[in-house]
Copies of this chain bind each other. A is one copy, B any other.
Amino acid sequence: MDTNIVVEKDQPGYPHRGKVFAAIHAHLDDIPYYAGGLCAKLASEGYTGYIIRTSNDEKCGGHTTAENILSNEQEHLKMAAALGFKDVFDLYYRNHRMDGISSIEIRGRLILIFRMLKVDTVITFNPWGHGEENPDHWVTGRAVEEACWMGGMSNDFPEHMEAGIQPHSVRERYYFYARSGQPFNRVVDISSHIEEKLNAIVECRSQGGGNRGSELRARLAKQGRRLPLLANDDRTADREYARRFLLGADQDYGKEYNLRYAERFYYIDQRPPAKPEVDDYIEKNAVSL
């Protein structure tokens, strides 16, 4: 467990060009809040991003189960567009009930997806993060973690190879800092991506409070009042409300490092070293036969 904290800043140019990341979450508003800035940053630095939502979000939205599922699905597409994702995968497992599914089944599906997209990097829940009381979260995190390394082994689901999809390992992982007390070793400066993060948050209306600004504006208007902060249109109201009231954690995480806004992650890098120790040894010690 690496607990040395690294501050990850914007990088010039497109250092990640050709790389692929997948952000995997359970509910509409997980990625926007926990990693919206990181996703925007990686995209701006050359990564191609995909987003996978594991649950069907049926419990949130304040309407019938079916209406909730639809509104979350539609808002999820808009939120993903706001963060620049290339494609969206919805797995639609039942919200609040993911601890009842087969861990092997969901893992197998993620392996197929990671292999076909040739994912380099995942962003998801920390499967070992204590205090994670939502089973949809740890089930998702655990399945992702396992799929990352099993996907690289050719005797796991060999039928994929018959379909032309090759074994593939995911070598870099960013785990959310989702609950107070979870470990983190990377503080990502998202200050220059805060507008995209806000764009994502305001699409989270069925859950995540993205429309609280416009709702408040309407409520005050009925009372003959208004807040200058919320300006004169709903979109602005939602964005400015979110900026003022919903980014507190990001501000707190940044403050310690003199950053305006930051997100925290537990980052794991399993890329092989450029030059293995043994190669170095051979170079120095090999002799002719």
Contact = CB atoms under 8 A, between A and B. Distances in A.
A249 interface: no
B108 A99 contact: no
B116 A162 contact: yes
Contact of A226 (B145, B226, B286): B286
A86 to B, nearest CB: 11
A1 B116 contact: no
Given A67-B73, A127-B133, 13 more contacts: A66-B66, A70-B70, A94-B94, A99-B103, A103-B135, A112-B159, A113-B162, A116-B159, A134-B146, A224-B289, A226-B286, A226-B288, A245-B281
28 contacts: A1-B130, A1-B180, A59-B153, A59-B155, A59-B156, A66-B66, A66-B72, A66-B90, A66-B92, A68-B155, A89-B159, A96-B150, A100-B105, A103-B135, A104-B105, A112-B160, A113-B162, A116-B162, A127-B133, A133-B149, A134-B146, A163-B165, A216-B278, A216-B282, A220-B286, A225-B287, A226-B289, A228-B287
**What bracket does the count of chain A residues touching chain B fall in?**
35 or more
Interface in A110-166: 112-113, 116, 127-128, 130-131, 133-135, 145-146, 149-150, 153, 155-160, 162-163, 165
Contacts of A165: 163
A7 interface: no
A80 interface: no
A61 to B, nearest CB: 9
A11 interface: no
A48 interface: no
A146 B180 CA distance: 17
Contacts of A221: 289
Interface in A61-101: 64-70, 72-74, 87, 89-90, 92-94, 96-97, 99-101
8 closest A-B pairs by beta carbon, nearest first, are: A1-B181, A102-B102, A66-B73, A105-B105, A66-B70, A128-B130, A66-B69, A225-B286
